[in-house]
Structures are given as C-alpha cells and as structure tokens.
Amino acid sequence: MPRNELHEDNRIAWNAATKAHNSHKADQATFLREGGTTLFPEELELLGEIDGLSLVHLQCNAGQDSLCLARLGATVTGVDISDEAVAFARRLSQDSGIPAAFVRSDVYDWLAAAARQPTRYDIVFSSYGCLTWLSDLRAWAHGIAAILKPGGRFVLVEFHPFAHVFDWDWSHAFPYFTGGDPDTFEHGIGDYVALSDGALSPSGYLAGVRDFVNPHRGHEFRWGLGEVVSALLDAGLSITALREYPYANGAKLFERMRERPGKRMIPPEDVPSLPLMFGLTAARRPA
C-alpha cells in the first residue's frame, strides 16, 4: 500500500526545496520563450516523436521539462504533490506562453482517479529523481499501465539505483536491497541545484537562497533496477528499451564529479566507471 502519511511529509519538504531550487534559476520564462530547453538527449531519444500525442508527466516538479515537452507538440498534463512546484509551473506556463495543465496531487491518488476516467494517454513520462519518492512500486506500475492507450508507452530516465549506495564522499554507505523500507532524513531533500554549479540552471545561475538546509524531514525509498523492471512487467507492460549510462545529466550527485560536454557528470579519476543513470521504455500491448 502507498504510504500517504510519508508522502505528506515529503510534500512539505519539497515545497521548501523547490523555492530554494528556483531561487537559483534566472528568468526561466524568457529562457523558454526564446527556445531554451531543459531536456537532455537521453529522454528525447527514448521519447521519439511526440508531436500531437497526449503525455502525462508524473512528478513534474516546477514544470520546466513539461513545458519543453509541450513545445515539442505534445498535449501535456503535469502531476506533482508539491503545492509550490505546481503553482510555479502554472505561472511559468502563463509567463512563457506555453500551454500545459498542471495538477497538484499525490501521484498514487492521481493515477487511481485517472484510471476511473475514460481518457487514456499516448505517453506517461517520468525522470530524474522520481523513483526515490515512491513507496509502492507495484501500485505505481499498475497505475501507469491502467492509463495508457493500447500501444501507449511509459518512458523513464532516472538516476541509477546502484549509484544510491554511495555517500557524498563515494564511500559505500547505503544498502542496495531494502525491501522497500523507507529511509527517513531529518533534513529532507536538499539544494542539489546549488551543488551542481549551474549545470541545472540553463537560464543562468543566481546565488539565490544560500546554504539551504531543509527544515522538514523526508522519506526516501530505494528500488533496485530489477524491482523497477519487474513491477512494470507484472503490470502487463512490455519492456521495449533498457539503457544504462556512465554519467549523470546535470546533477553533481557526489563530490569531485567532473563535468563533460552536454552537462554529463562523470566520477573523479580515482573512481572506476559505474552506471549513474538508466533509461527505459515500456509499452502497453496493442488491443
């Protein structure tokens, strides 16, 4: 069962963090209006042509990627639990002139409600830092399968779960296998935008909120790659692509990461290569 009470704590922590994150991003509306994008080649490759398709962006945060997807021609609905993120996304949609719908909801509640409606979607998309907030992988996968059209696709680009065994200093500090038990952090999600030295602020980096420490606790979940793939298969989806990448887009997840062209962050020289992101597509079988 989804742990809604823990999600509520996360909502409050994400409200605080989203303010800090956006405080570092200069004039995002102008950036988007002038054709700037926050999307990376990996998700574009897996998504393929989306012009004219209906697309749900789960855990869309403040809507930057959602609006870039809308500008590629998709009819986009973004869903996120954070009040601050959704309010920001709606303002950014207005200010940039790129239409998209944004819904503030726990992803589990939204998926359950959407399954009861007749509308079905061509694409469900989720990316970069989403799985760690999911308390029930099975309910999530079944919810996605239920809202896809026959032949519709789920597209995921995510930090690799193996990378999450490391602490900031690259020490092996966390288990890979947890059985879905939550990890509670007194100071919930931090300011990874500030830690990434501008790579997550393509519109320009501002000093913004300094030394942000989240005053709210957060609960995270660790899911292995096999658990993610199995949940989607068990929900009746077919895995149509699975990729692993030796770099992380935009985010300096650990100390001393080196930036390569395209904002690809790789480990320091003394750390052998390891998977830092993965991507997959999963399709609902045609009727």
Ligand X SMILES: C[S@@+](CC[C@H](N)C(=O)[O-])C[C@H]1O[C@@H](n2cnc3c(N)ncnc32)[C@H](O)[C@@H]1O
Task: Name which position in 46, 53, 74, 85 contacts ligand X (CB under 6 A).
Answer: 85
Work out whether 114 is an interface residue with ligand X (CB under 6 A). Answer: no
Q: Measured from the CB of residue 113, what is the shortest distance to ligand X in angstroms? A: 13
- Sign of the CA dihedral running 287, 53, 153, 77: negative
Nearest to 108 by CA among 55, 54, 150, 144: 144
Q: Does residue number 140 form part of the binding site for ligand X (CB under 6 A)?
A: no
**Does residue 50 interact with ligand X by CB under 6 A?**
no
Q: Whose Cβ is closer to ligand X: residue 171's or residue 184's?
A: 184
Burial class (CB in 10 A: 0-12, 13-18, 19+), 83: middle
Q: By CB under 6 A, tell whether 43 contacts ligand X.
A: no
Question: Are β-strands 54-58 and 121-127 bridged in parallel, bridged antiparallel, or unpaired?
Answer: parallel
Identify which of residues 53 and 107 has a Cβ nearer to ligand X in the complex. 107
Is 133 an interacting residue with respect to ligand X (CB under 6 A)? yes
* 127 is an interface residue for ligand X by CB under 6 A: yes
> Rg for the chain (alpha carbons), in Å?
18
Told to check if 59 binds ligand X by CB under 6 A, we report yes
Cβ-Cβ contacts under 8 Å for 286 (sequence gap 6 or more): 150, 151
- Site size toward ligand X, by CB under 6 A: 19
Of 70, 81, 137, 141, the residue at the interface with ligand X (CB under 6 A) is 81
Q: Does 82 bind ligand X (CB under 6 A)?
A: yes
Pick 24 or 150: Cβ nearer ligand X: 24
- Residue 162 · residue 225 · CB < 8 Å: yes
Sheet containing 264-266: order of strands? 248-249, 264-266, 258-260
Characterize 137-157 residue by residue with b for buried, 16 or more Cβ atoms within 10 angstroms of its Cβ, and e for exposed: bbbbbbbbbbbbbeebbbbbb
Report the residue number, 61 or 152, with the smaller CB distance to ligand X.
Answer: 61
Q: Does 22 bind ligand X (CB under 6 A)?
A: no
State phi, psi for 173 to the nearest 5 degrees.
Answer: -110, -15
Minimum separation from the CB atom of position 240 to ligand X (A):
21
Q: How far is the CB of 158 from ligand X (least distance, A)?
A: 9
Asked if residue 130 binds ligand X (CB under 6 A), the reply is yes
Based on the shown chain and the rule CB under 6 A, indicate whether residue 145 belongs to the binding site for ligand X.
Answer: no
How would you classify residue 99: left for phi > 0, otherwise alpha for psi between -120 and 50, otherwise beta?
beta
**Least distance to ligand X from the beta carbon of 37, Å?**
12
Looking from the CA of 206 toward its CB, the CA atoms found within 13 Å total 13
List residues near ligand X by CB under 6 A: 7, 10, 14, 59-61, 64-65, 80-82, 85, 106-107, 127-130, 133
